[in-house]
Amino acid sequence: MGAAVPEHRRVVVAGGGNGAHVAVATIAHRTGREVVWYLPYGDEATAVASALDIPPHALTVITPAGGFQVSAQNLLVTGDPSVAATADTVLLVSPAFAHRSLLQGLAPHLQPGTAVGAIPSRGGFEYEVEELVGPGVTVFGLQTLPWACRLESFGRTVRVLGTKNLTYLGCRPRTQGPALAARLTVWLGTPVVPGGGLTAMTLANTGQVLHPGLMTVHIRRWQRGAWPAVGEPPLFYQDAGEEGAELVATMSREVLAVAERLAALANGSRSESAPVDGDLGSALAGGTAFGDALDLSTVVDVFTWLRRSYEGQIGDVSSFSRALATNRAYQGIRVPVADGPPSRRPDLTSRYLTEDVPFGLAVTKGLAELAGVVTPTIDAVLGEAGDWLGTTFVDAGHLSAQGLARTRAPQRFGITTLARALAGEGETLSCREAVAKHG
């Protein structure tokens, strides 16, 4: 760990969904270099190769401003993981539940010094990389996918509906963050800003409170027969009401309490009089004195995040519930529903649950337990989500052994101290200094 980020040799993009199509095309378009598109899932490599074999032999990205095409000649489409051996950067662009199988394929071929990242990382990505790849690689993740996008034709056309103004990058070791963020800003064509370590990405993931929180409110209503009998399913954000906003805001306050406690412990461990959690200080700082050891500045409450992220797009910011209901970017999004009989019902296989609970909320719960922070509202949501997903995530206020293996909580990887959970988050150079130095 800690080697300088090497110059561009090759970038491998793994995944064949909406975001991966945009990432592959954007990087190839902006760098003018060949991008390796690693597609091990099902017959995706063959399907993309066949699609690119048809005129115009190009991948098309449609954007609000027009769009662009990338020639098939600039894309190396493969299902062979050994391409990772020549990569200096590997980007997983997929739902978090796909990271494991993608990493398992790539891991034996990764070389020391390679930067392995996920867009977006969701929670606990670093623990999974450490388990499957081991030390020696730089691990990074983006807080979110920079684009709202939808495939129009697999392997041929993808539509970008909108691009975020800014995306944070978390990195272990954190000192690599500024250089990686600068590289991704060029590649992705949207500002990528160093945002601390990967614990910051775990806690700053607002999808983990918005999606399971609002799903919980909608499913509870459905369970008590309060959905309209006919017509469209309820609107996910606009129909969530005060009840939804209150639940999400309370969950968000609990996430902030975890962040504040972690920051206090890190600062406490600096003081000679208040060492906490054994060797936390040395784990953070590599045994040296440290300044901004644990940078959680990207972790803000969900209402603040909403106002910042959608500035100018929200009709009424007088309250969180009004902001959710009047955000133009959320208009028309409905509760995901399952197809077919017996009757219209919420889709319990939706990513709002299958991704945001085990790879989001449960990871935060794991950190909360290590930090000794109680999270009663998050526990209640995890409890109900466990019922819907057919497992038990939380039992009597603690992560349950039954559901643990389905999550990316640190405990799932045998990590039972904060020192281990936060290892690699520290730096002797503060983020602000690094940004100033690297530009």
Kindly state whether residue 102 participates in binding ligand NAI, applying the rule CB under 6 A.
yes
Distance CA 279, CA 299 (A): 24
User: Of 130, 355, 384, 425, which one interacts with ligand NAI (CB under 6 A)?
Assistant: 355
Local structure of residue 339 (DSSP, 8 states): -
Distance CA 152, CA 157 (A): 5
Measured CA distances, 39 to 44, 67, 426 (Å): 6, 24, 34
Residue that is written with structure tokens 């983990």 in the block: 208
Kindly state whether residue 156 participates in binding ligand NAI, applying the rule CB under 6 A.
no
Kindly state whether residue 366 participates in binding ligand NAI, applying the rule CB under 6 A.
no
Kindly state whether residue 360 participates in binding ligand NAI, applying the rule CB under 6 A.
no
Look at the chain and count its residues: 439
Kindly state whether residue 19 participates in binding ligand NAI, applying the rule CB under 6 A.
yes
H/E stretch holding 212 reads helix 207-223
CB of 208 to ligand NAI, least distance (A): 11
Kindly state whether residue 145 participates in binding ligand NAI, applying the rule CB under 6 A.
yes
Measured CA distances, 163 to 191, 276, 356 (Å): 10, 42, 21
* Nearer to ligand NAI among residue 133 and residue 262 (C-beta): 133
Instruction: Determine the interface stretch with ligand NAI among 13-21, 166-174, 181-189, 419-427 (rule: CB under 6 A).
Output: 13-21
CB of 45 to ligand NAI, least distance (A): 10
Q: Which residue of this chain has its Cβ atom nearest to ligand NAI in the complex?
A: 17
Kindly state whether residue 17 participates in binding ligand NAI, applying the rule CB under 6 A.
yes
Tokens of 85: 């051996």
Kindly state whether residue 205 participates in binding ligand NAI, applying the rule CB under 6 A.
no
Query: 365 near 375, Cβ under 8 Å?
Result: yes
Identify which of 52, 48, 35, 45 has the alpha carbon closest to the alpha carbon of residue 80. Answer: 45
CB of 144 to ligand NAI, least distance (A): 6
Instruction: For the segment 58-97, give every residue that binds ligand NAI (CB under 6 A).
Output: 94-96
User: Of 5, 10, 12, 15, which one interacts with ligand NAI (CB under 6 A)?
Assistant: 15
How many H-runs (helices) and E-runs (strands) does the chain carry?
17, 16
Handedness of CA 349, 350, 351, 357 (dihedral sign): negative
Local structure of residue 314 (DSSP, 8 states): B
Query: 379 near 368, Cβ under 8 Å?
Result: no
Distance CA 46, CA 57 (A): 14
Kindly state whether residue 148 participates in binding ligand NAI, applying the rule CB under 6 A.
yes
Instruction: Determine the interface stretch with ligand NAI among 98-106, 128-136, 369-377, 412-420 (rule: CB under 6 A).
Output: 98-106
CB of 387 to ligand NAI, least distance (A): 22
* Nearer to ligand NAI among residue 19 and residue 173 (C-beta): 19
Kindly state whether residue 329 participates in binding ligand NAI, applying the rule CB under 6 A.
no
Q: In this structure, which amino acid lies at residue 210?
A: L
CB of 214 to ligand NAI, least distance (A): 15
Tokens of 120: 């977006």
- How many CA within 13 A on the CB side of residue 405? 3
* Nearer to ligand NAI among residue 98 and residue 423 (C-beta): 98
Question: Applying CB under 6 A, what is the total number of residues that bind ligand NAI?
Answer: 21
Report CA 146 to chain centroid distance, whole Å: 11
The total of other beta-carbon atoms located within 10 Å of residue 78's CB is 17
Instruction: Determine the interface stretch with ligand NAI among 75-83, 124-132, 141-149, 299-307 (rule: CB under 6 A).
Output: 141-149
**Phi and psi at residue 266, to the nearest 5°:** -65, -45
CB of 284 to ligand NAI, least distance (A): 28
Distance CA 180, CA 87 (A): 14
Kindly state whether residue 44 participates in binding ligand NAI, applying the rule CB under 6 A.
yes
User: Of 71, 73, 86, 101, which one interacts with ligand NAI (CB under 6 A)?
Assistant: 101
Instruction: Determine the interface stretch with ligand NAI among 11-19, 134-142, 415-423, 431-439 (rule: CB under 6 A).
Output: 11-19
Local structure of residue 312 (DSSP, 8 states): T
Kindly state whether residue 158 participates in binding ligand NAI, applying the rule CB under 6 A.
no
Instruction: For the segment 108-127, give every residue that binds ligand NAI (CB under 6 A).
Output: 120
CB of 212 to ligand NAI, least distance (A): 13
CB of 360 to ligand NAI, least distance (A): 10
Tokens of 44: 């995706």
Distance CA 362, CA 366 (A): 6
- Interface positions with ligand NAI (CB under 6 A): 15-20, 41, 44, 94-96, 98, 101-102, 120, 144-145, 148-149, 351, 355
